[in-house]
Structure 1
């Protein structure tokens, strides 16, 4: 399914986001834990879940900003996700790049992930780990090693185009990471401040989508050009067209 990571529009209210989802016939959403659904605020989470249901949202992910080995508030994290009626929680693989992390720190991240994964499993939740620079998933090889070290059936990777790789490197490495990828963050940029319409990345994204189509996945649009709602809607149309024609 195609959806929205609400961190894209932190300035919009929950109601405005859900109206935008409805207008564009989107059914998957990732609620931002640093904006719309704060960690531990179960009252807000329940209200957002109720409204989401009214708008026909069928898949919900909780995009938390919990960093493994740094934060251990797992009980509140799970409680918030359940109140939100989410089926997936996204977390981060620590706060250090692999080259800067000691062996002890990497071990702590793995242990924390294992602990959280078991708690998630009991709650009927999947755990998604952000694929990102400055963490222990800062390269395809390191991301794969981490997921394999955690070795839990309900732990997956949230994939996105890595800034430090070429398009060819991203495509080649995605083929290796496919078994671990549950959800995808979709955007087209050179860096955070230099963004483009999704249509401008057609050749690049068609390559990714051809690989990703092997299994059902959710595609959350984010970081749209100029933080524009109009651009978001254009990107939705672009992504829908690509997926329909694969």
Structure 2
């Protein structure tokens, strides 16, 4: 049986995980998997079905339905990876502040996380992957060959998220973004199920003073030393 390589990138919101994971996957020729997008899609599906994000039992049922009926799919279009929910491209819809908050809530439910594990691991059974999230190196892929944990100051992360949302036409202000990010940090770090933490064998990088190319260059060099 073919064994594929897995590179994990974890860290808090706004640390640069998505940008760097996507770029690293492209440079390496690997598949990019955004596990956070799966929880965002779940939060959106619950919202549309009028299922309260705080109801673990109901959210769990939605999660099981998403997996069993293959309602979530990642498709690459013109070099850009898009996420589909029920054949609808929701790549932008899952990035709103409201859905982001919902994703943090639904991802805190232990049964929900367990239900979505198979969906995340399935990708790694088919190809080499760069996967990003909050527990990819500790829970989803604990035996990954290379693990990174990205950090950045709260202010820098809020600035990045504010600029990202503004560029997409979402009306937000910096102060609200900062407050929301601080609250999400607290939820992610204190939740009982797979709290945000660095894997013991992960390389920690503070991206606050670094450019994307600087971080990417370091990552590529390390991956090449380990598995290429």
TM range (shorter): 0.3 to 0.5
